[in-house]
Amino acid sequence: MIVLMAGCGIFGKEIDPTRAWTVEKLYAEAKYEMSLRNWTTAIKHYERIESRYPFGRFAQQSQIELAYVHWRNDDPALALAVIDRFIKQYPNHPSVDYMYYLKGRINFNDDLGITGLISNQDLSERDPKAAADAFVAFKDLVSRFPDSKYGPDALSRLNYLVNTLARNEIHVARYYMKRRAFVAAANRAQFVLKQYPGAPAGEEALWIMVQAYAAAGLHDLSEDARRVLDKNFPNSEFYRGGPQQERSWWRIWN
């Protein structure tokens, strides 16, 4: 009976086979499971390291890798929680730049999934919160760690995100135009020009201002916007009856 109880676990409790493992073995096994994409098992091992050996380099490295594994395990909320905790605890860690980068990548959410691919939806048509959070993370990375190896990719994504956020405002301005809220549409378009100067979406922002002010009877403001549009975009496609095609993210805004 004693042998049977030991084999099944005392009083139904499962015996943890890793209880006698050293931190080195736990970490090695976590890395191995991660290499096999066994995310759930890797998470358990990394969490065991944090609980049993909360101090030292293994605990810190485990947090870094745990954030990545949570992300790959389709749990971005947990991954972001681990990242925020790490940045708060270890602001001067040599790998903290990677954590900012990973935070940006998770929020960037460049994989729109099957629905996004079919509908050709871009980030500017979605809830802008994630894009804004990604922008902040990438901006923190490039400003705090200008020599980081993650900097060039972060800058590329920043360039895209700036225009993404600007285009999101354009979507709202278009909505106001359809609702005949012309002053609100013009104000939204003006916000694009002030907040995101130089972004490609600025061309449409000016065109919306031309139309919105004219429809609201503010002809002087409409003509002012038209002059700015003519000066900056003398061959604007909006004069020919249609907007430009939306740029893909890899067509970087300079």
pLDDT tens-digit profile of 96-138? 999 999 999 999 875 443 334 344 455 555 667 888 899 999 9
Same fold, 1-103 and 134-254: yes
Q: Specify the pTM.
A: 0.72
Mean pLDDT over all residues of the chain?
Answer: 85
| pLDDT given for residue 13 in this prediction | 59
CB of 63 closer than 8 Å to CB of 85:
yes
CB of 182 closer than 8 Å to CB of 212:
yes
Per the structure block, which two tokens stand in for 21? 């493992």
Supply the DSSP string of 85-145, one letter for each residue: HHHHH-TT-TTHHHHHHHHHHHHH----HHHHHHHT--GGGS-HHHHHHHHHHHHHHHHH-
What is the domain partition of the chain in residue ranges? 1-103, 134-254
Q: CATH classification of 134-254 is 1.10.4190.10, yes or no?
A: no
pLDDT band at 252 (very low <50, low <70, confident <90, very high): very low
pLDDT band at 159 (very low <50, low <70, confident <90, very high): confident
pLDDT band at 248 (very low <50, low <70, confident <90, very high): very low
Give the tens place of pLDDT for each residue, 179-235.
999 999 999 999 999 988 888 899 999 999 999 999 999 999 999 999 999 999 988
| pLDDT given for residue 25 in this prediction | 95
Give the tens place of pLDDT for each residue, 60-80.
999 999 999 999 999 999 999
Question: Domain 1-103, what architecture?
Answer: Alpha Horseshoe (1.25)
pLDDT band at 246 (very low <50, low <70, confident <90, very high): very low
| pLDDT given for residue 175 in this prediction | 95
Over residues 34-57, mean pLDDT: 93
Torsion of CA 238, 220, 231, 205, to 10 degrees: -40
